[in-house]
């Protein structure tokens, strides 16, 4: 048996005191000193060392824990319970925050990397969330919006399926009569964004394209907020007009204008009385500036179910049983509509579209305004999540990578008896502290990025509307949640260390942790790769659509909008003829339709040479002479409109190749006749002869295939003049045109655009989305690279000794670079192998929504690998050079 | 055995009074108390040291570490001027209590109980 060693016994006894929280080293020294004094006394009384020790310790204290508690109470004056005994983690929060702050400021570089990544991610995620929630909020502000549905017409005529956003006039009233669950119906029509109405008050004249003619029940269905006037009576009387706040300000410089009059029309021939003012409409698929009361008749003639369409909206009752109503629609169609369409060899169905989803649903024929894009909103939502996930992965990776630094601290604390929950609390506090700090920086970043974001997204947010108290609290709450989630794994990982191994310096980098970290890195690379590949495809498709062959030459063509004034129409012929004589002008023509907007949809009836009647559905444009020549379209067969044939040319029309293919008219195109729908009073039909077939050309956005088209000669209904200039004499040409314009139309400013610019503007939405996508993708790559840089930095640190030994043995910088990059190279390849099929699958789904689309190729995948390799290699080169500069002796001596 | 509350209440005046005789250390104070009370008051370190530290926080006493000849260190306490004043205060308080109790316990006392 080992002889009793007094000093050793005292040290072992003192260790019990060291384990107690609340005893500072000075106290323990003092208690030890007291023990020595007691032992000396017992020794002087003749007791053995062992006995003296036992007696002294018995006298001194019964329980080290009680001593510690007493000391704590004495020190803190009034605190009844030591906080480490408290069940609540909040009691230790101040201490944890202090220690957390100390740890965070110790290693600034990895902390800065983490904070940067988190702050940028949260800021951009928040901005994307604003964009997504803005897009999803259209029409939600209206009371009872969820009970309102638009009635669409799903028509099948001669094998052509088309969905129209408006329906025949009798549909709405008949539905209401038939189904009591329909509380209200409203019908209205408008001329669309290509047609402006003129409003005049005194000297002020304002043009507006957001003008509608609506029935009295409009405000019963659309519960738009009124600033003045009564919703029930606003559209009751004829010649009443409800105007928006903005229009009231422009016309009257105020909104106290109920009862005042406005003159409408270019000749101010119609007088309207203002009966109500509505709040300016934003976030609606139907922005309105003026609503004019209209008594829309309900046709009763045979053809009442087709033609003369109006926009029709229903308000269902409180039960809102849309599914039940939709089930009844086939019976309704069978009862009222089907016979008419069957006669024509077609069919019709009614589709009830929820008001709140119209904006993001695909556009149907005759939609009044461009819609948003649900897929784009989904993409942004996914990118928002990607950003947060990647930032979280970064944090987890960097925190666990630095675990060796914290291992000793954890070992010592566990050896001293610190309970697990306190350690977890400590690390979670550090995690939350770091992420909360990032959240605060994110708020400031949002403010700084606001102008750029507004430009990219098309939103018009101010700091006040963006940083509402709810939004600020949401960002901070999100930070808290991210901090708690991201901090979980590192916290549990760190407290899993066995103290005895750590304190003996036998801490080995956990294989399991290393595997988990590798998995996280692969996830990061994969997410970035999916985005890069997707972004490249979206970019390519957008460029393809924007640069697609239109079937005509859009360059050097000046587009002029003709004044909507009967007084000018007489002079248009003169203008066109005069411009045609100018030296810089290669061609001039007129058109009812704009080439940058869709053509009018029509349902003409043709007769074949053998007398068959063909009911068709095709687009129609009305143009002047020289249209095909001026736009440089191609005549495939037959002839163009000719002035020399005089009045008889009015009976001529052209059709396009798509119409010929669609209806199988290859051998008979120029023998076809267009027939009027109804005979005249003598029972005779009016016919027009197809004189030629032109090559397909696009009108408006070229997302879809070119549809069948008929071209009608109409020199009188002119809205646009197109002038093709000699490309070398553009400026001279414009000057010449302007001179003629000013001479003939002195009251109207000469305002022109170039046709190619007009066409590019219609893709402005796509171009903006592409810019937003590129910016967010670049950001995600940047954040991923931040994480990778941090990891590379850590990898090199842990392999310092190995690098030092290799350098001593003559390894070059390149060799060290290859050594370090091997692992990351494999990770990039694995990640891209995972990312590629996912990216290709979703891209394919997106591309298939376009009739006109690019082919999938491997180039985006190759570029993705190149981008990942590039930023990884740059980081590796930088860190390798740093490692190479370090004196290997220092690394080895430190070890 | 003296009651707990009385022992707790008397700790401060006893320490102040012992230290008024000169500087001393924890174990010595405990021994002095035992001797003065004929063994009735047996203080433990858990009782004394927290009181000493509280009194030090209040500025009534001050401490210093002194290295002994055998190399060990020992913490000595002494009264501050504030402590001396406090000692006089508690002394007069306890004297008042003592006088009242002594009078009560006299066998010839006739008390007006109302």
| 3-state helix/strand/coil string of A335-390 | HHCHHHHHHCCCEEEEEEEEHHHHCCCCCCECCCCCCCCHHHHHHHHHHHHHHHHH
The string of DSSP codes covering A239-258 is: TEEEEEHHHHHHHHSSS--T
Tokens representing A731 are 């400026």
Q: Which of A95-104, A364-373, A699-708 has the lowest mean pLDDT?
A: A699-708
User: What does the pLDDT read at residue A795?
Assistant: 73
Interface test with B, best of A31, A34, A44 (most B CBs within 10 A): A34
Identify the residue with better confidence: A748 or A655.
A655
Instruction: Identify whether residues A512 and A474 lie together within a single domain.
Output: yes
Judged by CB atoms closer than 8 Å, whether chains meet at A37 and B45 is answered as: no
Among A130, A58, A28, A116, residue whose Cα is nearest residue A784: A116
Most confident range (mean pLDDT) of A216-220, A454-458, A544-548 is A216-220
Strand partners, A198: A207
Tell me the C-alpha to C-alpha distance, in Å, between residue A190 and each of A145, A246, A287, A351, A360: 21, 19, 12, 21, 21
Judged by CB atoms closer than 8 Å, whether chains meet at A67 and B45 is answered as: yes
**A92 in any annotated domain:** no
**A442 in any annotated domain:** yes
User: What does the pLDDT read at residue A612?
Assistant: 87
Q: What is the pLDDT of residues A795-844, one digit of tens each?
A: 776 777 777 788 788 877 778 777 777 777 888 888 888 988 888 888 88
- In chain A, the residue whose alpha carbon lies closest to the alpha carbon of B42 is A59
3-state secondary structure of A430: helix
Nearest to A38 among B27, B54, B75 (CB): B27
**Residue after which a domain boundary falls, among A48, A70, A85:** A85
Judged by CB atoms closer than 8 Å, whether chains meet at A59 and B44 is answered as: yes
- In chain A, the residue whose alpha carbon lies closest to the alpha carbon of B25 is A34
Among A434, A378, A374, A386, residue whose Cα is nearest residue A779: A386
**A783 in any annotated domain:** yes
Locate the DSSP E strands across A498-584.
Answer: 557-561
Tokens representing A672 are 């076809």
Q: How confident is the model at residue A357 (pLDDT cuts 50, 70, 90)?
A: very high
Judged by CB atoms closer than 8 Å, whether chains meet at B54 and A75 is answered as: yes
Q: What is the pLDDT of residues A412-422, one digit of tens each?
A: 777 666 767 77
CA B52 to chain A, closest CA, distance in angstroms equals: 9
Judged by CB atoms closer than 8 Å, whether chains meet at B45 and A66 is answered as: no
**A531 in any annotated domain:** yes
Q: Give contacts of A38 with chain B, Cβ < 8 Å.
A: 27
Q: Give contacts of A37 with chain B, Cβ < 8 Å.
A: 25-28, 74
Check if the beta carbon of residue A449 is closer than 8 Å to that of residue A467.
no
User: What would you measure as the largest C-alpha separation in chain B, in angstroms?
Assistant: 66
Place of tokens 């587009």: A559
What is the arithmetic mean of pLDDT over A107-127? 85
Among A695, A703, A693, A646, residue whose Cα is nearest residue A847: A703
Q: Give contacts of B51 with chain A, Cβ < 8 Å.
A: 74
Q: How far is CA A872 from the centre of its chain?
A: 29
User: B4-104 — its CATH code?
Assistant: 1.10.10.10
User: What does the pLDDT read at residue A179?
Assistant: 95
Judged by CB atoms closer than 8 Å, whether chains meet at B50 and A31 is answered as: no
Among A762, A749, A753, A719, residue whose Cα is nearest residue A556: A753
Check if the beta carbon of residue A639 is closer than 8 Å to that of residue A653.
no
Judged by CB atoms closer than 8 Å, whether chains meet at A67 and B46 is answered as: yes
Rounded to 5°, the CA angle B60-B65-B70 comes to: 145
Instruction: Identify whether residues A476 and A601 lie together within a single domain.
Output: no
**A757 in any annotated domain:** no
Check if the beta carbon of residue A656 is closer than 8 Å to that of residue A695.
yes
Check if the beta carbon of residue A129 is closer than 8 Å to that of residue A462.
no
Q: Give contacts of B57 with chain A, Cβ < 8 Å.
A: 75, 77
Check if the beta carbon of residue A615 is closer than 8 Å to that of residue A345.
yes
d(CA A546, CA A549): 9
CA B42 to chain A, closest CA, distance in angstroms equals: 9
User: What does the pLDDT read at residue A47?
Assistant: 93
Instruction: Identify whether residues A387 and A332 lie together within a single domain.
Output: no
pLDDT at A746 over 60: yes
**pLDDT by 10s per residue, chain B, length 114:** 557 788 888 889 999 999 999 999 999 999 999 899 888 887 877 778 888 888 998 999 999 999 988 888 899 999 999 999 999 999 999 999 999 998 888 877 777 776
CA A30 to chain B, closest CA, distance in angstroms equals: 7
Q: Give contacts of A6 with chain B, Cβ < 8 Å.
A: none
Judged by CB atoms closer than 8 Å, whether chains meet at B50 and A38 is answered as: no
**A103 in any annotated domain:** no
Tokens representing A391 are 């930032």
Judged by CB atoms closer than 8 Å, whether chains meet at A75 and B26 is answered as: no
**Residue after which a domain boundary falls, among A85, A103, A121:** A85
Q: How confident is the model at residue A213 (pLDDT cuts 50, 70, 90)?
A: very high
User: What does the pLDDT read at residue A598?
Assistant: 67
Nearest to B49 among A36, A38, A71 (CB): A71
d(CA A341, CA A349): 10
**Spatial CB neighbours of A629, under 8 Å, sequence gap ≥ 6:** A587, A589, A640
d(CA A788, CA A758): 45
pLDDT at A606 over 70: yes
Instruction: Identify whether residues A256 and A294 lie together within a single domain.
Output: yes
Most confident range (mean pLDDT) of A59-63, A121-125, A302-306, A774-778 is A121-125
Q: How confident is the model at residue A650 (pLDDT cuts 50, 70, 90)?
A: confident
- In three state form, how does the secondary structure of A703-726 look? CCCCCCEEEEECCCCCCEEEEEEC
What is the arithmetic mean of pLDDT over A232-242? 93
d(CA A482, CA A431): 9
Identify the residue with better confidence: A690 or A826.
A690
Tell me the C-alpha to C-alpha distance, in Å, between residue B84 and each of A99, A628, B89: 40, 115, 9
The string of DSSP codes covering A616-642 is: --EEEEEE-TTHHHHHT--EEEE----
d(CA A562, CA A575): 11
Q: A interface toward B at CB cutoff 8 Å?
A: 27, 29-31, 33-34, 36-38, 59-62, 66-67, 70-71, 73-75, 77
Check CB contact of B58 with chain A, cutoff 8 Å.
no
d(CA A399, CA A495): 13
Among A325, A355, A37, A361, residue whose Cα is nearest residue A222: A355
User: What does the pLDDT read at residue A312?
Assistant: 96
User: What does the pLDDT read at residue A195?
Assistant: 65
Q: Give contacts of A36 with chain B, Cβ < 8 Å.
A: 72
Judged by CB atoms closer than 8 Å, whether chains meet at B45 and A31 is answered as: yes
Q: Give contacts of B25 with chain A, Cβ < 8 Å.
A: 33, 37
d(CA A68, CA A27): 9
- Count of A-B CB contacts under 8 Å: 57
Domain that includes residue A846, residue range? 374-546+764-894
Identify the DSSP state of B13: H
Instruction: Identify whether residues A354 and A378 lie together within a single domain.
Output: no
ipTM: 0.84
Most confident range (mean pLDDT) of A51-65, A415-429, A632-646 is A632-646
- In chain A, the residue whose alpha carbon lies closest to the alpha carbon of B74 is A33
Judged by CB atoms closer than 8 Å, whether chains meet at B44 and A73 is answered as: no
What is the arithmetic mean of pLDDT over A122-146? 91
Nearest to A74 among B44, B45, B53 (CB): B53
Q: Give contacts of A60 with chain B, Cβ < 8 Å.
A: 44-45
**A93 in any annotated domain:** no
Q: How confident is the model at residue A331 (pLDDT cuts 50, 70, 90)?
A: very high
List, in sequence order, the alpha helices (H) in A45-107: 49-60, 64-76, 93-106
Check if the beta carbon of residue A242 is closer than 8 Å to that of residue A208.
no
| pTM to 2 decimal places | 0.69
Q: Give contacts of A74 with chain B, Cβ < 8 Å.
A: 49-51, 53-54
**In the structure, how many helices (H) and strands (E) does chain A have?**
29, 26
Identify the residue with better confidence: A55 or A603.
A55
Q: Give contacts of A29 with chain B, Cβ < 8 Å.
A: 73, 75
d(CA B15, CA A74): 16
Q: Which of A402-406, A581-585, A663-667 has the lowest mean pLDDT?
A: A402-406
Judged by CB atoms closer than 8 Å, whether chains meet at A36 and B72 is answered as: yes
d(CA A154, CA A851): 20
Check if the beta carbon of residue A168 is closer than 8 Å to that of residue A307.
yes
- In chain B, the residue whose alpha carbon lies closest to the alpha carbon of A28 is B49
Check CB contact of B34 with chain A, cutoff 8 Å.
no
**A138 in any annotated domain:** no
Q: Give contacts of A61 with chain B, Cβ < 8 Å.
A: 44-46
- In chain A, the residue whose alpha carbon lies closest to the alpha carbon of B57 is A75
Q: What is the pLDDT of residues A850-877, one digit of tens each?
A: 777 888 888 888 888 888 888 888 877 8
Instruction: Identify whether residues A389 and A348 lie together within a single domain.
Output: no
Interface test with A, best of B49, B72, B77 (most A CBs within 10 A): B49
A435: exposed, middle or buried (Cβ count in 10 Å: 0-12, 13-18, 19+):
buried
User: What does the pLDDT read at residue A895?
Assistant: 46
User: What does the pLDDT read at residue A417?
Assistant: 65
What is the arithmetic mean of pLDDT over A729-743? 90
User: What does the pLDDT read at residue A75?
Assistant: 64
Q: How confident is the model at residue A193 (pLDDT cuts 50, 70, 90)?
A: low
Q: What is the mean pLDDT of chain A?
A: 83
d(CA B51, CA B40): 19
Strand-pair category, A618-623 with A709-713: parallel
Instruction: Identify whether residues A455 and A537 lie together within a single domain.
Output: yes
User: What does the pLDDT read at residue B105?
Assistant: 87
Share of chain A above pLDDT 90, in %: 27
Q: How far is CA B61 from the centre of its chain?
A: 12
Check if the beta carbon of residue A77 is closer than 8 Å to that of residue B54.
yes
User: What does the pLDDT read at residue A603?
Assistant: 78
Neighbours of A863 (CB within 10 A): 15
Q: Which of A54-63, A289-298, A622-631 has the lowest mean pLDDT?
A: A54-63
User: What does the pLDDT read at residue A21?
Assistant: 65
Instruction: Identify whether residues A227 and A309 lie together within a single domain.
Output: yes
- Count of structural domains, chain A: 4
Q: Give contacts of A30 with chain B, Cβ < 8 Å.
A: 26, 49, 75
The string of DSSP codes covering A199-222 is: EEETTEEEEES-EEEE-TTHHHHS
Judged by CB atoms closer than 8 Å, whether chains meet at B74 and A33 is answered as: yes
Check CB contact of B47 with chain A, cutoff 8 Å.
yes
pLDDT at A83 over 90: no
């Amino acid at each position: 048996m080992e002889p009793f060693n007094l000093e050793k016994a005292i040290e072992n006894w003192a260790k019990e005191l060291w384990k107690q929280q609340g005893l500072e080293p000075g106290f323990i020294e003092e208690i030890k000193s007291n023990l020595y004094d007691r032992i000396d006394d017992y020794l002087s009384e003749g007791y053995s060392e062992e006995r003296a020790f036992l007696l002294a310790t018995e006298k001194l204290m019964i329980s080290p824990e009680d001593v510690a508690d007493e000391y704590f109470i004495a020190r803190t004056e009034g605190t009844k319970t030591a906080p480490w005994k408290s069940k609540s983690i909040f009691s230790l929060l101040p201490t944890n925050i202090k220690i957390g702050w100390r740890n965070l400021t110790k290693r600034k570089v990895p902390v800065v990397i983490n904070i940067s990544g988190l702050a940028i991610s949260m800021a951009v995620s928040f901005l994307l969330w604003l964009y997504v929630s803005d897009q999803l909020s259209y029409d939600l502000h209206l009371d009872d919006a969820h009970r309102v549905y638009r009635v669409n017409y799903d028509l099948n005529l001669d094998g052509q399926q088309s969905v129209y956003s408006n329906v025949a006039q009798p549909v709405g009233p008949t539905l209401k009569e038939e189904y009591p669950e329909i509380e209200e119906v409203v019908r209205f029509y408008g001329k669309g964004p290509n047609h402006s109405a003129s409003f005049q008050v005194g000297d002020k004249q304002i043009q507006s394209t957001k003008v509608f003619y609506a029935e009295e029940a409009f405000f019963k269905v659309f519960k738009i907020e009124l600033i003045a006037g009564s919703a029930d009576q606003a559209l009751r009387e004829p010649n009443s007009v409800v105007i928006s706040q903005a229009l009231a300000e422009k016309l009257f410089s105020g909104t106290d204008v109920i009862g005042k009059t406005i003159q409408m029309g270019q000749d101010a021939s119609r007088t309207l009385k203002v009966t109500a003012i509505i709040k300016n409409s934003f976030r609606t698929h139907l922005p309105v500036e003026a609503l004019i009361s209209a008594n829309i008749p309900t046709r009763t003639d045979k053809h009442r179910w087709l033609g003369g369409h109006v926009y029709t909206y229903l308000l269902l009752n409180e039960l809102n049983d849309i599914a039940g109503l939709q089930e009844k629609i086939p019976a309704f169609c069978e009862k009222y509509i089907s016979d008419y369409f069957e006669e024509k060899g077609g069919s019709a169905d009614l589709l009830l579209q929820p008001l709140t989803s119209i904006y993001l649903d695909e556009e149907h024929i005759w939609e009044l305004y461009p819609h948003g894009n649900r897929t784009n909103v989904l993409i942004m939502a996914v990118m928002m999540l990607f950003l947060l996930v990647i930032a979280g992965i970064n944090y987890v990776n960097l925190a666990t990578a630095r675990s060796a630094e914290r291992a000793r601290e954890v070992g010592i604390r566990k050896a001293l008896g610190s309970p697990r929950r306190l350690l977890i609390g400590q690390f979670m506090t550090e995690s939350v502290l770091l992420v909360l700090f990032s959240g605060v920086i994110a708020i400031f970043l949002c403010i700084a990025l606001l102008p750029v974001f507004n430009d990219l997204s098309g939103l018009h947010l101010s700091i006040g509307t963006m940083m509402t108290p709810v939004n600020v609290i949401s960002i901070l709450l999100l930070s808290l949640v991210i901090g708690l989630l991201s901090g979980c794994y590192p916290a549990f990982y760190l407290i899993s260390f066995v103290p005895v191994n750590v304190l003996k310096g036998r801490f080995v980098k956990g294989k399991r942790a290393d595997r988990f970290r590798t998995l996280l890195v692969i996830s990061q690379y994969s997410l970035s790769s999916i985005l890069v590949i997707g972004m490249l495809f979206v970019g390519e498709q957008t460029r393809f659509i924007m640069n697609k062959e239109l079937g005509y030459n859009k360059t050097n063509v000046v587009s002029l909008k003709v004044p909507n004034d009967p007084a000018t129409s007489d002079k248009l012929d003169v203008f066109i003829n005069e411009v045609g004589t100018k030296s810089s002008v290669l061609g001039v023509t007129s058109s009812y339709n704009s080439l940058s907007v869709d053509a009018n949809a029509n349902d003409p009836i043709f007769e074949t040479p053998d007398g068959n009647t063909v009911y068709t559905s095709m687009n129609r444009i009305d143009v002047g002479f020289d249209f095909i020549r001026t736009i440089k379209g191609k005549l495939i067969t037959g002839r163009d409109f000719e002035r020399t044939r005089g009045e008889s040319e009015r009976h001529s029309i052209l059709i396009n190749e798509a119409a010929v293919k669609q209806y199988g008219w290859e051998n008979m195109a120029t023998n076809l006749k267009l027939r009027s729908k109804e005979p005249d009073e003598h029972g005779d039909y009016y016919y027009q002869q197809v004189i030629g077939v032109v090559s397909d050309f696009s009108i408006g956005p070229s997302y879809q295939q070119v549809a069948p088209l008929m071209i009608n000669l109409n020199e009188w209904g002119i809205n646009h003049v197109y002038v093709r200039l000699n490309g070398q004499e553009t400026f001279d040409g414009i000057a010449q045109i302007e001179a003629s314009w000013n001479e003939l139309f002195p009251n109207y400013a000469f305002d022109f655009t170039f046709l190619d610019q007009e066409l590019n503007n219609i893709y402005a939405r796509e171009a903006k989305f592409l810019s937003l996508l590129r910016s967010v993708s670049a950001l995600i790559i940047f954040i991923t690279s931040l994480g990778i840089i941090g990891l590379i930095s850590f990898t090199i640190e842990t392999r310092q000794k190995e690098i030092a030994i290799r350098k001593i043995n003559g390894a070059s910088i390149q060799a060290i670079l290859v050594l370090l990059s091997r692992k990351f190279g494999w990770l990039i390849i694995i990640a891209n192998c995972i990312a590629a099929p996912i990216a290709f699958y979703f891209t394919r789904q997106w591309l298939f929504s376009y009739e006109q689309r690019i082919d999938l190729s491997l180039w985006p995948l190759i570029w993705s690998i190149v981008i990942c390799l590039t930023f990884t290699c740059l980081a590796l080169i930088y860190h390798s050079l740093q490692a190479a500069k370090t004196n290997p002796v220092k690394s080895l001596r430190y070890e | 055995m003296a009651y707990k509350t009385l022992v707790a209440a008397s700790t401060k005046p006893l320490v102040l009074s012992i230290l008024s005789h000169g500087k001393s250390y924890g174990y010595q104070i405990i021994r002095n108390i035992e001797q003065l009370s004929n063994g009735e008051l047996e203080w433990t370190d858990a009782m004394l040291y927290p009181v000493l530290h509280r009194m030090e926080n209040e500025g009534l006493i001050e401490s210093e570490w002194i290295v002994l000849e055998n190399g060990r260190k020992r913490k000595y306490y002494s009264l501050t001027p504030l402590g001396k004043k406090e000692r006089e205060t508690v002394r007069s308080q306890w004297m008042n209590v003592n006088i009242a109790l002594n009078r009560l316990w006299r066998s010839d006392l006739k008390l007006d109980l109302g």
